[in-house]
Amino acid sequence: MSFADLGLSDELLKTVTDAGYTEPTPIQASAIPSVLMMRDIIGIAQTGTGKTAAFVLPMIDILAHGRSRARMPRSLILEPTRELAAQVAENFEKYGAGQKLSMALLIGGVSMGDQIKALEKGVDVLIATPGRLMDLFQRGNILLTGCSMLVIDEADRMLDMGFIPDIEEICTKLPKQRQTLLFSATMPPPIKKLADKFLENPKTIEVARPASTNINIAQFVVPVAPQSFEKRKRLRQLLGQEEVRNAIIFCNRKTTVRELNKSLKQHGFRSGEIHGDMEQPQRLAELELFKRGDINILVASDVAARGLDIKGVSHVFNFDAPWHPDDYVHRIGRTGRGGATGTAYTFVAPDDAENLQNIEKLTGQKIDRLELPAPAEEERPARRTRRDRAPRTAEVEVEVNTAPVAETVEEAPRARPARARREEPRREQPRHDEAREQRSDDRRRDRRRSHQDETPDDGGWNGPIPDFLKVSFGI
Ligand code: ADP
Ligand code: MG
């Protein structure tokens, strides 16, 4: 099957070839002809299988005819996060280069004024997160009655983020006569219900078993002690392997993201962080550093990293085993993209046994356990070493090495009772704090729920097609 068999225009075929795509992915091959025939579609395919182009390409051809009117977008794409919205916009820019399609992005954390100006002019494609769209809708800045095409992307993530009620409301504002496309990696019952309610006679395309993981990803479970300093030590050992070119490290909590990034930096790693508490420009700046290779480690929370299209990530680490098994599939889907191979390590402490069981149940696959030799002794950050009053004769500390390499992985395990005893009381405290912080995080999140992507406007936006969209997403 080639792109030429799918019914796309010659102009678009040329753009696709220029983009370096030789053949459509299975979801593209099945979805594109049906979208062009104006069918409603439910597209279920795992992360990294090219779902974006499966709707962006036919939309470009469909929207090539007709004109936009003020405040009445002709099509609407809903994305769960700002980053995903920005990525879809980038896809339109890339493939729609030859066409004169106008586009606006409505995402939280950026100035509303320019977004409203763009809408006033009329847009062919509106890409939005549900929270910001609802805000503008309620202010009367937008009319969805001329919107004949709706895409609900990453539907399972929308569900995780509590956006389903917003989406339901948005669906009722669109004309009944429209085409609706829904894409998701998994199909939990509430998404099925949403589809039954708002799609008409949809064609369901299921490329792989829901929640199956990519065969190009080598997966390992790494048994670890629950203490975070032990986990960090294991992580440094694995990051020190030669084949780790770059890595995304997922944590369950924002506090862990911050602490881990700080610790990695102290150990000489080139790392950065991305989580939901960061302002939009800050997140994009960090992402840009990672894409450019200025940093090669990105510590991330699920919300911030969902669906990010970053090519060529060699490794994914689950520093915490994810609470939701779906998140496992999404997290490890950051590697092994576009036919490349990747490796995913999941740290599992005794308390995480149930999380792991759920993951293995969902993916229908038992993950290999990796038994590691004890990590070699490594240089500690100065602050820690000063506090350390253990007899120095008992250990070899490499003074010169600031590189993040576990010197001799095969080194025999050492018994270090003095340090272990001292660290015991210290680790109780952070765990307690973390739990408390998490509870208050959860409360904050509950309060924000349907407006999770909103933060106060900060004026960091320069118009509907901002500069950051012009950067290349390849590494
Ligand atoms: P999904 O939304 O399914 O998670 P994306 O649409 O983000 O996946 O695409 C994943 C990656 O695959 C992107 O880097 C994209 O550029 C690439 N890709 C998409 N279609 C093709 C194709 N036909 N051939 C090669 N690479 C592709
Ligand atoms: Mg996607």
Task: Tell me the ligand closest to 53's alpha carbon.
Answer: 1
Residue 87 to residue 56: CA distance in whole angstroms: 11
Residue 302: name the closest of 87, 447, 157 by CA.
157
- H/E element holding 10? helix 10-18
Measured from the Cα of 91, ligand 1's closest atom is 16
Q: How confident is the model at residue 398 (pLDDT cuts 50, 70, 90)?
A: very low
Does 58 have pLDDT greater than 70?
A: yes
HEC sequence for 198-235:
HCCCCEEEECCCCCCCCCCEEEEEEECCCCHHHHHHHH
Q: How far is CA 127 from CA 81, 119, 335, 461, in A?
A: 11, 11, 26, 15
Write the pLDDT tens digit of every residue in 2-30.
999 999 999 999 989 888 788 898 999 99
Token pair for residue 98? 């030859």
Place of tokens 């993981």: 213
Distance 291 CA to ligand 1 centre (A): 16
Collect all residues with Cβ–Cβ distance below 8 Å to 447 and sequence separation of at least 6: none
Nearest CA to ligand 1 atom 25: 21
- Give backbone dihedrals phi and psi of 345, rounded to 5 degrees, phi first: -110, 135
pLDDT at 334: 81
Bridge partners for 247 per DSSP: 297, 315
Residue 31 to residue 53: CA distance in whole angstroms: 10
For 286-304, what is the mean pLDDT? 89
pLDDT at 317: 96
Distance 307 CA to ligand 2 centre (A): 6
Q: How confident is the model at residue 338 (pLDDT cuts 50, 70, 90)?
A: low
Does 415 have pLDDT greater than 50?
A: no
Strands, E, within 241-387: which ranges? 247-250, 271-274, 297-300, 315-318, 342-348, 368-369
Which range in 47-56, 262-271, 272-281, 389-398 is most confidently predicted, on average pLDDT? Answer: 262-271
- 207 vs 407 pLDDT, higher one: 207
Write the pLDDT tens digit of every residue in 224-258.
998 889 999 999 999 998 789 999 999 999 999 99
Residue 126 to residue 174: CA distance in whole angstroms: 13
Does 408 have pLDDT greater than 80?
A: no
Measured from the Cα of 153, ligand 1's closest atom is 2
Mean pLDDT of the chain: 78
Q: Which of 21, 182, 306 to mutate to test the pocket of ligand 1 (most atoms within 8 A of CB)?
A: 21
| Contact of 162 with 449, CB cutoff 8 Å | yes
Distance 74 CA to ligand 1 centre (A): 25
Could you count the other beta carbons within 10 Å of the beta carbon of residue 155?
27
Residue 179 to residue 201: CA distance in whole angstroms: 11
Nearest CA to ligand 1 atom 16: 50
For 398-424, what is the mean pLDDT? 31
Asked whether the domain spanning 217-369 has the same topology as the one spanning 3-206, the reply is: yes
Does 432 have pLDDT greater than 70?
A: no
The DSSP line for 19-87 is TT--S--HHHHHHHHHHHTT--EEEE--TTS-HHHHHHHHHHHHHTSS--BTTB-SEEEE-SSHHHHHH
Nearest CA to ligand 1 atom 19: 50
Amino acid at 160: D
Min mean pLDDT across 161-165, 204-208, 238-242, 378-382 is at 378-382
Q: How confident is the model at residue 362 (pLDDT cuts 50, 70, 90)?
A: confident
Q: Which of 337, 473, 475 to mutate to test the pocket of ligand 1 (most atoms within 8 A of CB)?
A: 337
CATH of region 3-206: 3.40.50.300
- 444 vs 369 pLDDT, higher one: 369
The pTM of the whole model exceeds 0.75: no
Nearest CA to ligand 1 atom 9: 50
Min mean pLDDT across 126-140, 311-325, 360-374 is at 360-374
Q: Write down the domain spans for the chain.
A: 3-206, 217-369, 386-421
Does 444 have pLDDT greater than 50?
A: no
Place of tokens 């790693």: 269
Distance 159 CA to ligand 2 centre (A): 15
pLDDT at 378: 63
| Contact of 95 with 12, CB cutoff 8 Å | yes
For the beta sheet containing 103-106, the strands, ordered from the edge strand earlier in sequence to the opposite edge, are 103-106, 125-128, 75-78, 149-152, 179-184, 41-44, 203-206
Task: Tell me the ligand closest to 152's alpha carbon.
Answer: 2
Distance 183 CA to ligand 2 centre (A): 8
Of the chain, the percentage scoring pLDDT greater than 90 comes to 46
Distance 153 CA to ligand 2 centre (A): 7
Q: How far is CA 191 from CA 28, 42, 188, 323, 436, in A?
A: 21, 10, 6, 20, 32
For 83-102, what is the mean pLDDT? 89
For 103-110, what is the mean pLDDT? 86
Residue 162 to residue 329: CA distance in whole angstroms: 19
Q: How confident is the model at residue 383 (pLDDT cuts 50, 70, 90)?
A: very low
User: What's the residue count for the chain?
Assistant: 475
Nearest CA to ligand 1 atom 2: 51
Could you count the other beta carbons within 10 Å of the beta carbon of residue 405?
18
pLDDT at 168: 96
Q: How confident is the model at residue 309 (pLDDT cuts 50, 70, 90)?
A: low
Write the pLDDT tens digit of every residue in 171-225.
999 999 999 999 998 888 999 999 999 999 999 999 865 455 667 889 999 999 9
Residue 322: name the closest of 384, 264, 226, 253 by CA.
253
Min mean pLDDT across 33-37, 39-43, 72-76, 384-388 is at 384-388
Distance 54 CA to ligand 2 centre (A): 10
Nearest CA to ligand 1 atom 5: 50
Residue 121 to residue 230: CA distance in whole angstroms: 56
Min mean pLDDT across 62-71, 139-148, 151-160, 252-261 is at 62-71
Of the chain, the percentage scoring pLDDT greater than 70 comes to 74
Residue 109 to residue 163: CA distance in whole angstroms: 17
| Contact of 372 with 221, CB cutoff 8 Å | no
Q: Which CATH class is domain 217-369?
A: alpha beta
Pocket of ligand 1 (CB under 6 A): 21, 24-25, 28, 45, 47-53, 307, 309, 311, 337-338
Distance 50 CA to ligand 1 centre (A): 3
Looking at 301-411, list the stretches that DSSP marks H as alpha helix, in order from N- to C-terminal side.
302-305, 325-332, 353-363, 382-387
Distance 446 CA to ligand 1 centre (A): 33
Task: Tell me the ligand closest to 473's alpha carbon.
Answer: 1
pLDDT at 320: 95
Residue 232 to residue 330: CA distance in whole angstroms: 23
For 440-463, what is the mean pLDDT? 35
